[in-house]
Structure formats: structure tokens, C-alpha cells
């Protein structure tokens, strides 16, 4: 499957994005590469997993921010919560 410029413009309108022609060209190129990669996944042979390389640190719990500290960083807050603009319209 290849993403066409018309389909990209349709997706742009559905997502309420305004892209410049240069951004559209780059996004179209990137999305087509992603689609080609996804289409090639079924062709990848399954085999033995290779052990991970590198060293990972163990997960250790650490204290987080208190509610007051987190809210102090927020641009808007209301009654102890973050205030954010509406995302969905009904």
C-alpha cells in the first residue's frame, strides 16, 4: 500500500493539522517508508532470539513529585488537578 497525496490531505483534515507543502512531502515520504516496513514484517523469518546486548540497569523505585510540586509546574490548575483544554468535541 502506498499513501497518496490525496489520502494524506484527507488525514490532515481529519486530524485538523495544517501542514506546509514541504512538511506534507516529508510526511508522505516518512509514512510510505513506515508502511513498506510494516508490509515487510510478515516476510521476516522467525528464529532463535538473540540475547540482548549491552547492560541494563535494574529498575529501582524512586520517589516522585508530590501533588503540590507537580501542580506548581502546571500552567493552569483547578481544585487540585491539572486544567487542560478540551480534546474531544461531542
Residue 53 is predicted with a pLDDT of 75
User: pTM of the prediction?
Assistant: 0.47
Nearest in space to 23 (alpha carbons), one of 2, 1, 5: 5
Q: Which domain holds residue 34?
A: 5-43
Residue 85 is predicted with a pLDDT of 86
Instruction: Give the phi and the psi of residue 66 in degrees, each rounded to 5.
Output: -75, 165
Number of domains in the chain: 1
Whether residue 6 is predicted with pLDDT greater than 90 in this model: the reply is yes
3-state SS, the chain, equals CCCCHHHHHHHHHHCCCCCCHHHHHHHHHHHHHHHHHHHHHHHCCCCCCCCCCCCCCCCCCCCCCCHHHHHHCCCCEECCEECCCCCCCC
The per-residue pLDDT of the chain, averaged, comes to 88
Whether residue 9 is predicted with pLDDT greater than 80 in this model: the reply is yes
What is the per-residue pLDDT across 54-83, written as a single tens digit (0 to 9) for each? 788 888 999 999 999 999 989 999 999 999
Considering the domain boundaries, does residue 35 fall inside one?
yes
Considering the domain boundaries, does residue 77 fall inside one?
no
Considering the domain boundaries, does residue 10 fall inside one?
yes
Considering the domain boundaries, does residue 66 fall inside one?
no
What is the per-residue pLDDT across 13-47, written as a single tens digit (0 to 9) for each? 999 999 999 999 999 999 999 999 999 888 877 77
Considering the domain boundaries, does residue 81 fall inside one?
no
CATH number at residue 32: 1.10.20.60
Considering the domain boundaries, does residue 9 fall inside one?
yes
Amino acid at each position: 500500500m502506498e499513501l497518496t497525496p490525496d489520502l494524506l490531505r484527507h488525514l490532515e483534515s481529519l486530524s485538523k493539522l495544517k501542514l506546509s507543502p514541504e512538511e506534507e512531502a516529508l510526511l508522505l515520504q516518512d509514512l510510505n517508508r513506515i508502511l513498506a516496513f510494516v508490509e515487510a514484517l510478515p516476510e521476516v523469518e522467525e528464529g532463535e532470539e538473540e540475547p540482548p546486548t549491552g547492560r541494563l540497569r535494574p529498575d529501582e523505585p524512586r520517589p516522585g513529585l508530590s501533588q503540590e510540586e507537580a501542580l506548581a509546574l502546571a500552567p493552569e490548575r483547578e481544585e487540585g488537578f491539572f486544567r487542560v483544554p478540551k480534546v474531544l468535541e461531542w
